[in-house]
Every structure is written in C-alpha cells, then in structure tokens.
Structure 1
C-alpha cells in the first residue's frame, strides 16, 4: 500500500513552552522580536543596557510568568555569563538566542581618522554574538535550539563612512554559516538582514514618538512602506521554531525589496 503524505496541522503558537534570550531586547527591533516571541507562545529573557526600557517592557507586557529582564553588556564576558545563568535560573531551560544588541548608528568617523577604540566599539554586535553564543550553546544543545543573528542589508551594500558597521554585520553573516556547520545538527543558526526599519514607536516610553515618514520614504520600497519591528519578529519566530527545521546557515534579507531595486541618479 503506497504511503500517503499527511496534511499536517499548522501550529498556532509555534514557540509554546520555548524560552528565548534576546539581546538588545528592550527597544527597537529587539523589542519587536520579543513581542513576536511572546505572541507565538514563548517566554523571553530580554537583555539590554537600558534598565528603564527593560523595566517598561515588563510593566507594559504584564506577563510576569513569561517575561524577564536582565541588564547586560554583551561586550563583557562576565555580564554575558551572568545573563545565561539568570535565564536558566528563572526559566530552567533555553531554546533560542537572538543576537540583536549592537550600535544602531551605521555612520562613524571617516576611516582614515578613526581611532582603534572606536573601531572596536563599533564591532560590539559581532563580539556580543560570539560571547552570547559561546555561553548559550551548552543549554541550546540540550533542546535542539536555534540561534538568530541580526545582521543588516549593509552587509551587502554601503554608504560612505560605514566601514566598521558593515564589517560587523558582514562578520555576523559569515559567523552565522560557520557556526551552523560547527553546531549542526544539534543547533541551527541563521541570520536576518533587515533593511530600513522604523523604531521610533518601539523605544522606552520617554523617547517614544510617532515616526515621521514621507510618502517618498514609503514609496521607494517595492512593498510600498518602510519596515517595522514586527516584520523582523515574524521571521525570527519562524527561524526559532520547528517549522524552520530544515533551514540553517542562511542569511534572510527583510527589506521590502529594496536590495533588489535598481537605483540610478537621473
């Protein structure tokens, strides 16, 4: 009798009973990812340098059983170790890690004038991904976990005076496929490269404001609008879940089609 492929149920909450650590998770894209994980049934440990933003998240979410905050500096190994220890103490397990923390501004000092200290500081997202992955891997291996690194379309295209940012984000893409090969099949590793994501409404309450976007800003995207944090959160949830069980070592561009659009000065 021939085998008949079954129609499988689509999980309504694909991260139910999963625990995800999200660095830079109290604001911006990180908060968007955290709220998407919560909406998908998961629990989150958000890590951020901004304690006020972190506490505001917990107050506004009002989900004490599924959300916790730890102030952390991903460039400090001691701080990262404390973050992972706090996560396991609070939730008892770890199923996912989102390496999102880093300097938001792409533009720095012109390279010929840039001090080495600034260069190193602007690579913090790459250093943080290394340290957080290093100390999360033992727990992730126990539950066939997943890592999602937040890179950028600036890993693929550039503007002037963005060398350090591009190096950090390009390094994250390469780090992603190298770690995926090293850790497979126990842990899957993917990256997301966001394009223009407006985060004005996703900051701490004192800095929150309505985005000021022109029609031109919106229209230059093939999808007709600028991106928002939940656009990244939706893909992060998928990559963290079993639905993406055959996907690892890949970079996923989420930019409303901008990197596929030819732009010529007329």
Structure 2
C-alpha cells in the first residue's frame, strides 16, 4: 500500500521552537509550510524535503486568508496545523504601566492569531481529518510578576483548544503543548539551571517537536494539553 506524504503548516516558523518543529517534521518526511512575518530565509529543507515559505501576520485576517490560498495552491490537503506564533518575552512590566496597545497586540498575536488560523484552515484540515496543535505555555497555569498579557493570552489559548476540539470534532482533533523553559542546545546555562528541573535539564526545541509529532498521530486524544516542563509545575518550591 502506498504511504501518503503528510502536510503540516507551522506558524512562528522563524523562531527557536518553530524551527525545531519544522526540522523534525521534515526529517520525518512531512511536507511543511512555514509561516512567519520574517526570518524564513534561514529555513532549509533536507535533500528531497518539501518546504513552502509563507510570509504573513497571523493577527491580520486578510493576511491569513491570503496564506490559506497560497497553501491551497501548493497542493494537497492539510494534515496538521501548529499554532506556534507568539510574542516572546513574558514580562511586560507593572500592570499600572501596561499600555493598552501592548496588551492588544499580545492578545492579537498569541490568541486571535490561532483563532484566525483555525477559522480559515479548518476546511483543508477537515478534508484530511487532520489536527491542530496549539503551543501554549506553563504560564497558562502559573505566573511570575508582571506577566499579565502573556499569561492571559496563553490561558485563553488553552481554553480555545478545548473549545475548538468540541466544535470541530469528530473530523478534527485539537490539542496543545505547554512548554516550560526551552533553550537552544548551545545556550549558556548553568548546572543549577538544569538541576532545578525534576527531569534534570532544561528543555529543547526537539522536546517540543516530538510532542507535536506524537499529538499528530494520537487519534483518540483531543481537547487535551501536554505540559512539557521537565516536571517544574509539579515541584513545590519554598524559599527558606
């Protein structure tokens, strides 16, 4: 029996986690459409790999609609949408100083963007009986000071995940991965940085990519979240 090559669309493709997800899927034989507002020139497919670069702002519905047509013209159904695009840097300053424009932009990219992507790509995903994976954050469950807009956007994305799973099922599955501390393999980290994690190390983009690939194949799993943080949300921390 002929094995059909699967197609994925990954947003936030120019970032650390997005690039790791794309590399992993390409290595597994997927066709990948990589979407971002910038940074796509650094992406490269392995020999024989199939990579489409799509420049778009996920918070702009007209841009998302154009991306839908561009990916559609590329050919084939869509098996996987990874909503990874998001504004990094969780700390936005004291809430008294948080300006409305900054709040609105963070919510637009981190939460409205995944909604728009799901809205416009649902028909292509439905045709393939595909799935959506939203990249949330452990900050949907826990906080540091001065992270209101980031935490709100990721908490909203977690709620959007189970709402979409119920609305779009059974044709589509929708799940989430909530990374904790993720760093590049060559990041300048101390032994203490790694040792504080029950897993013994800080996470890598490959860890996130493997979780995404698992969810893409987990046919009975929907509306769920994988917390990928090396055990930190389960660790009680007291300062003596």
Which of 51, 73, 82 is the matching residue for 1:89? 73
Q: Which runs of 4+ in 1 moved over 6 A?
A: none
Which of 220, 226, 236 is the matching residue for 2:202? 226
| Paired residue total | 237
Which of 58, 67, 70 is the matching residue for 1:74? 58
Query: What residue ranges of structure 2 are gaps of 5+ in the alignment?
Result: none
Q: Which residue does 2:154 correspond to in 1?
A: 169
Q: RMSD value over aligned CA atoms?
A: 1.4
Q: Which residue does 1:120 correspond to in 2?
A: 104
Which of 208, 213, 217 is the matching residue for 2:193? 217
For each residue in 1:58-106, what CA deviation from the matched residue of structure 2 results, as whole angstroms up to 9, or x when unmatched?
A: 2xx3456511111110110111111121111113221110000010110
SS state at 2:207 partner = helix
SS state at 2:86 partner = coil
Q: Structure 1 residues 114 and 64, CA, compared in 2 at 3 Å: closer, same or farther?
A: farther
Give 1:109 deviation, angstroms.
2.9
Q: Which residue does 1:5 correspond to in 2?
A: none
Give 1:216 deviation, angstroms.
0.2
SS state at 2:17 partner = helix
1:191 maps to 2:179: no
Query: What residue ranges of structure 1 are gaps of 5+ in the alignment?
Result: 1-14, 202-209
Which deviates more from structure 2 when the two are superposed, residues 175-184 or residues 33-42?
A: 33-42
State the distance in 1 between where 2:221 and 2:4 align.
Answer: 20
Q: Which residue does 1:147 correspond to in 2?
A: 132
Q: Which residue does 2:222 correspond to in 1?
A: 248
Q: Structure 1 residues 16 and 38, CA, compared in 2 at 3 Å: closer, same or farther?
A: farther
TM-score (norm 2): 0.95
| Partners of 1:18 and 1:94 within 8 A in 2 | yes
Structure label with greater radius of gyration? 1
Give 1:23 deviation, angstroms.
0.3
TM-score (norm 1): 0.86
Q: Which residue does 1:21 correspond to in 2?
A: 9
Which deviates more from structure 2 when the two are superposed, residues 179-188 or residues 108-117?
A: 108-117
Give 1:34 deviation, angstroms.
0.9
| Partners of 1:145 and 1:186 within 8 A in 2 | yes
Q: Which residue does 2:235 correspond to in 1?
A: 261
Q: Which residue does 1:35 correspond to in 2?
A: 23
SS state at 2:102 partner = helix
For each residue in 1:7-50, what CA deviation from the matched residue of structure 2 results, as whole angstroms up to 9, or x when unmatched?
A: xxxxxxxx961111000012211111111111222111011111
